[in-house]
Structure 1
Amino acid sequence: MSPATTSSLLRLFFLTLSLHINFSTAVNSIGVSRRTLAVAADTVPFPKKVATFLPSDISPPTEKYWYSRLPNTPLPKALEYLLQPGHYPSINTEFANENVSAASQKTYKQAYRSAKHEKAIKSSLPESTIFYLYNDIHPGKRMRIRFTNSGTKVSFLPRQVAESIPFSSDKIPEILKYFALEVNSKEARVIRDEIGGCEDPNIEGEEKFCATSLESLIDFSVERLGRNVRVLSTDAGKKQEYTVSARARMIGDDKAAVCHKMRYPYAVHYCHVIADTEVYEVPLVGADGAKVKAVTVCHLNTSAWSPDHMAFQVLKIKPGPAVCHFLDSDTLIWVPAKY
């Protein structure tokens, strides 16, 4: 072995050793800020509760697990940025901002029950199309749309860490203490609301699950749809008038699973499979010429929805007819690959 080769190997050894020491030191430098933490892996601060985890146990989730379970399914845009090193980990205790998409955050839990947050939904999306009728999906149809997201800039925690944190209504005091949140804070109210939605009884024909990690998100969908699937999300687009530019293409039915990103200190997704639904990809062109491929879900039978639901008030109809709505840009839709 030449001296140059030996020198290179030694430099590589000490560089690796230095990175290991820095990472180990970071793991023991504990404390969660009340601001968003989204830093490189070698400077990751963790809550005290996970200080005992070894570095190998708290490695960030990556696309490796995705492709081990879904080898033929491209990673959707809505998940790509969550798995980039610069976004891990991201714990945010200021996730209760009222400026987020109230429609997306509430309709997926309240759509079939009462319009508990009707006023918030209306005020957050003035003059925007939230719900529309099934027959409105045709070329030439114009709608004023605001493509939003959950507004929660957080990423996945490792499965082992996520599963060590309580996630149930009877553990709310422990959860608030864990994230150093005041009992009467707006963040505490959001946590109660989100967990409560996960624990609400299923409506007829619905199966739901709240995934607290990337791995559990994937497992839920694979168990119900298998590995031969497509995972889509709506393109981001600014609020303006859009025109349906071509015929909508059906991409899924009641076997589809929809996963909405929730407002929570770390990435949690509310996933559900609902009977009597159809999923379409709708090509849109904005007033400024921007093209958007929007994913929309149509509920073919709304007879089980609460009579005072906002959709019926907006559309001036009674429960029963098919009602559709677009999905947010960080909502995932899982459909069989046959479409």
Structure 2
Amino acid sequence: MEFAHLTVLSLFCLAFVGITATSSGEDYWQSIWPNTPLPKTFSDLLIPSGKTNSLPIKSEELKQYSTLFFEHDLHPGKNFILGNTNSVGSIIRPFTKSRQGVTDSIWLANKEKQSLEDFCYSPTAIAEHKHCVSSLKSMIDQVISHFGSTKIKAISSNFAPYQDQYVVEDVKKVGDNAVMCHRLNFEKVVFNCHQVRDTTAYVVSLVASDGTKTKALTVCHHDTRGMNPELLYEALEVTPGTVPVCHFIGNKAAAWVPNHTADNLCVM
């Protein structure tokens, strides 16, 4: 009986610890931004074990991260087909010569060939600052420290599932030099938060081929010297350092930018 009592008590304590771990991140969020919902993109950071049972980014979602285009393509009426870089699955990100921008999609496609430690401790790209975080509190502290203010907002995409063809309905600029936080494609919940200078973030309103309306977080790089030359030439027939290059950001990532208006903190 005593053993059974201890077992039940232990299970109760484990459950309580799990609930506390989950709520503490949300409580910290609410203490800084009261009455502001947590973006769905960051919900994995509330998992008590810090580990999921499957990879967060499915193979069909990789196209969200591997669509490259020019900044002048961002206008109403423009048609996009996701995934114009077929070699994403075959190019491995070299750690001795780090590359920026689309390297996250390259790395995600080659997750089995690189360890989490290799990625987080690899050299940074040109003009890049990065930090791997495994808790919501760490992410919040990191972005507040970076901007020196709590007047910031998080923006994320909500691509429609199983839809690859879209037409642009509207384009809105949301800020320059955003801090991007990407969920890395491992079972362990870790986000790579990084900033690359000379970038502009947009929210692009899209309409899928089936009529579904969605929004896509988009980043344009004005300094492309550190980008992957094979990938740029395959997609756009340009070389690094010549013209600005843009790409969509998938559903498992968000951009932090200054909030200069009375808008809600989170745009999803």
TM-score category, normalised to shorter length: 0.7 to 0.9
Aligned identity (percent) is: 30
Cα gap change, 1:200 to 1:101, in 2 (>3 Å): farther
Match for residue 288 of structure 1 among 210, 230, 239? 210
The alignment partner of 1:203 has SS state of coil
Contact kept in structure 2, 1:278 and 1:298, CA below 8 Å:
yes
The alignment partner of 1:219 has SS state of helix
Cα gap change, 1:191 to 1:229, in 2 (>3 Å): farther
Contact kept in structure 1, 2:180 and 2:194, CA below 8 Å:
yes
The alignment partner of 1:244 has SS state of strand
**Counterpart in the other structure of 2:77:** 140
Instruction: Decide which structure has greater strand share.
Output: 2
Question: Which has the greater radius of gyration?
Answer: 1
The alignment partner of 1:138 has SS state of coil
Cα gap change, 1:65 to 1:303, in 2 (>3 Å): same
Aligned pairs for 1:1-339 within 5 A? 22=8, 24-25=10-11, 41=15, 55=17, 59-60=21-22, 61-71=24-34, 74-80=37-43, 83=46, 88-89=48-49, 91-92=51-52, 95=55, 99=59, 101-102=61-62, 130-145=67-82, 190=112, 192-225=114-147, 226-238=149-161, 239-246=163-170, 248-254=171-177, 256-308=178-230, 310-320=231-241, 321-338=243-260
User: How far apart are the structure 2 equivalents of 1:283 and 1:101?
Assistant: 18
The alignment partner of 2:205 has SS state of strand
**1:229: how far off?**
0.7
User: How far apart are the structure 1 equivalents of 2:166 and 2:18?
Assistant: 48
Q: Which structure carries more relative contact order (alpha carbon 8 Å, separation 6+)?
A: 2
**Which whole-Å deviations, capped at 9, do the CAs of 1:179-203 have from their partners, x for residues lacking one?**
xxxxxxxxxx748433212112122
Contact kept in structure 2, 1:234 and 1:293, CA below 8 Å:
yes
Q: Give unmatched runs, 5+ long, in structure 1.
A: 1-19, 29-40, 43-54, 108-128, 147-188
Cα gap change, 1:245 to 1:273, in 2 (>3 Å): same
Cα gap change, 1:90 to 1:301, in 2 (>3 Å): closer
User: How far apart are the structure 1 equivalents of 2:44 and 2:53?
Assistant: 20
**1:65: how far off?**
0.9
Contact kept in structure 2, 1:210 and 1:271, CA below 8 Å:
yes
Contact kept in structure 2, 1:194 and 1:263, CA below 8 Å:
no
**Counterpart in the other structure of 2:100:** none
TM-score (norm 1): 0.58
User: How far apart are the structure 2 equivalents of 1:88 and 1:58?
Assistant: 9
For this pair of structures, how many residues does the alignment match?
Answer: 226
**Counterpart in the other structure of 2:95:** none
User: How far apart are the structure 2 equivalents of 1:191 and 1:220?
Assistant: 28
**Counterpart in the other structure of 1:183:** none
User: How far apart are the structure 1 equivalents of 2:26 and 2:179?
Assistant: 20
TM-score (norm 2): 0.73
- Partner letter of residue 168 of structure 2? V
Cα gap change, 1:99 to 1:275, in 2 (>3 Å): same
Cα gap change, 1:201 to 1:25, in 2 (>3 Å): same
The alignment partner of 1:245 has SS state of strand
**Counterpart in the other structure of 1:11:** none
**Counterpart in the other structure of 1:174:** none
RMSD: 3.2
Contact kept in structure 2, 1:72 and 1:228, CA below 8 Å:
no
- Partner letter of residue 40 of structure 2? K
User: How far apart are the structure 2 equivalents of 1:245 and 1:97?
Assistant: 26
